[in-house]
Chain A
Amino acid sequence: MQNSFSHERYQRQLILKKFGIKAQQKLADASVLVVGAGGLGCPLLSYLAAAGLGRIGIIDDDIIAIHNLHRQPLYATVDIGNKKAIVAKEKLKALNPEIIIDGFDLRLDESNCLDLFRSYDYVADCTDNFATRYMINDACVILDKPLIYAAVSQFEGQISIFNFPDTKSGTKTNYRDLFPQPPNDGEILNCEEAGVLGVLPGIVGTMMASETIKLITGTGKTLASKLFTFNILNNQSLELQLTARPETRKLIPADETIFRNTSYEILCNRNGFDLASEEFAKLISGKNTTVIDVRELHELPILEDINHIRIPMSILSDHLGGLVSERIVFVCQSGIRSRKAAGLLSAIKNPDQQVYSLAGGVENWLIKKQILHHV
């Protein structure tokens, strides 16, 4: 069924020869999920709503803070402390009551991602961290969903459209064709750490809106399989043709079950829990460090000559509340489960508590211990 729209509201774009009533109808019938209602999300959401996009989803679990306002003009000073997804929904509803707006006050994760994406035609990545960016990319590849992507850094922005055939070659590319693996933790600073001029995400987010509208209506040339970069300091722009890498698909979870069991937080080591063996040796020789082995009780070798307690991963969540030492180091066989454990405790820990994961696990520690003892 075709959604109806007010001709008066969209009159200025309806009279465009390259747009018109057909394009407007395509917008009215389309749905877009915008992940992140921050610097990029605000302009994208505003222009999509204003243009008459039929159904817009907003997902964000963040709260409006005063330092958001310089680049997130959907929000006013009186909105500080309120939920972005809820306030954005209200503002967009006031802007255009003729369209459907869904507000999701929650964090996108591996368990809700696929079902949410499935109920929209397009997804837009307006997030601010690599863990979520790789998760969104992989989910879109698995579901074969077109993805409008953008990211900013200080004075520069990048925009592309992934999973949509390039008009010339017909090939589809995705974020992992550009950057196959997430960068090392701390390698790339986000806006919080590096700063951003407020107008930059405004320009880039508005370009995302323009690309989304072109993509949906088939108007003009889009950035499918192209990476557009813009620098607001010198007004230079650059458009690169992307190339599909043969190995990319192998890096993405093969199916939905594997996707749901992937931890993108751990993959991107976003929280930086990893502790090198040398640092671990120092910590355990001092006081106030509790070492917790999260391997199951049958797993070998036993961690000898280190005071530790064993709380297997299978029952860890029941015991997290009791872990109150000043410094806690989780260990496991190879450092993967212990990182997950550190992530779990980190979510509920008190602010003064330090939480680590022994990098490389017991296996690596036993090798390093020999070397350290001989130094």
Chain B
Amino acid sequence: MEIQVFGHLAEIMGSDIITIDPVPDTETLKEVIGNQYPALNNIEFVIAVNKNQVIENTSIDNSSTIVLMPPFSGG
């Protein structure tokens, strides 16, 4: 399962595309990546599935486009 990551999340996770073992939903995804990259647990970011921002636990599968987007501050 592929995840596209943006901003400084790519630095934390080591790449702008991360591959993880398949997970059934976004809550499990958060848990899995939080264990793998503990720095993510204290960081704000948005999860989007198939180009829609997710605010509740959402089912995902291998065909889902998953994005992790942090805030940017520069101007």
A residues engaging B (CB < 8 A)? Answer: 36, 38-41, 125-130, 133, 150-154, 156-158, 177-179, 181, 183-184, 187-191, 194, 196, 201, 227, 229, 231, 238-243, 245
Min CB distance B41 to A, Å, is: 11
Give the contacting residue for A153; candidates B4, B7, B43; CB below 8 A.
B7
Q: Given A156-B7, A240-B53, A241-B52, is A227 in contact with B69 using a C-beta cutoff of 8 Å?
A: yes
A351 to B69, alpha carbons, bound, how many Å? 37
* Interface residue B71 (Cβ < 8 Å from any Cβ of A): yes
CB atoms of A129 and B73 under 8 A apart: yes
A106 to B42, alpha carbons, bound, how many Å? 34
| CB-based nearest A residue for B43 | A187
Min CB distance B50 to A, Å, is: 9
| CB-based nearest B residue for A40 | B75
Q: Given A179-B44, A183-B43, is A191 in contact with B52 using a C-beta cutoff of 8 Å?
A: no
A268 to B54, alpha carbons, bound, how many Å? 24
Min CB distance A174 to B, Å, is: 13
A contact patch SS: mixed
Question: Inside 8 A of B55's CB, which chain A residues have their CB?
Answer: 243, 245
CB atoms of B75 and A240 under 8 A apart: no
Question: Inside 8 A of A36's CB, which chain B residues have their CB?
Answer: 75
| CB-based nearest B residue for A41 | B75
A363 to B18, alpha carbons, bound, how many Å? 44
Question: Inside 8 A of A242's CB, which chain B residues have their CB?
Answer: 53
CB atoms of B48 and A240 under 8 A apart: yes
B residues engaging A (CB < 8 A)? Answer: 4, 6-8, 42-44, 46, 48, 51-55, 67, 69-75
Question: Inside 8 A of B44's CB, which chain A residues have their CB?
Answer: 179, 181, 183, 187
| CB-based nearest B residue for A130 | B73
Q: Given A240-B53, A241-B52, is A153 in contact with B75 using a C-beta cutoff of 8 Å?
A: no
CB atoms of A188 and B51 under 8 A apart: no
Apart from A158-B72, A188-B71, list 15 A-B contacts with CB within 8 A. A38-B75, A39-B74, A129-B73, A130-B73, A150-B75, A151-B73, A179-B44, A191-B74, A191-B75, A201-B74, A238-B51, A240-B48, A240-B52, A241-B52, A243-B53
CB atoms of B67 and A240 under 8 A apart: yes
Question: Inside 8 A of B4's CB, which chain A residues have their CB?
Answer: 238
8 A-B pairs with the lowest CB-CB distances in the bound complex, closest first: A151-B72, A128-B75, A153-B72, A191-B74, A152-B74, A243-B53, A183-B44, A40-B75
CB atoms of B42 and A153 under 8 A apart: no
Question: Inside 8 A of B51's CB, which chain A residues have their CB?
Answer: 238-241
CB atoms of A188 and B72 under 8 A apart: yes
Q: Given A178-B53, A243-B53, is A152 in contact with B67 using a C-beta cutoff of 8 Å?
A: no
Question: Inside 8 A of A153's CB, which chain B residues have their CB?
Answer: 7-8, 72-74
Q: Given A178-B46, A178-B53, is A157 in contact with B69 using a C-beta cutoff of 8 Å?
A: no
Could you name 10 residue pairs across A and B whose Cβ atoms are closer than 8 Å? A127-B75, A129-B73, A178-B46, A179-B71, A183-B43, A183-B44, A187-B44, A191-B75, A241-B52, A243-B54
A368 to B72, alpha carbons, bound, how many Å? 35
A38 to B25, alpha carbons, bound, how many Å? 41
A184 to B40, alpha carbons, bound, how many Å? 12
Give the contacting residue for B73; candidates A128, A238, A239; CB below 8 A.
A128
Question: Inside 8 A of B6's CB, which chain A residues have their CB?
Answer: 156, 229, 231, 238
Question: Inside 8 A of A239's CB, which chain B residues have their CB?
Answer: 51
| CB-based nearest B residue for A244 | B55
A178 to B6, alpha carbons, bound, how many Å? 14
Min CB distance B4 to A, Å, is: 8
Q: Given A240-B53, A243-B55, is A152 in contact with B46 using a C-beta cutoff of 8 Å?
A: no
Q: Given A128-B74, A227-B69, is A187 in contact with B42 using a C-beta cutoff of 8 Å?
A: yes
Min CB distance B34 to A, Å, is: 15
| CB-based nearest B residue for A184 | B42
Question: Inside 8 A of B73's CB, which chain A residues have their CB?
Answer: 128-130, 133, 151, 153, 188-190
Question: Inside 8 A of A39's CB, which chain B residues have their CB?
Answer: 74-75
A187 to B71, alpha carbons, bound, how many Å? 10
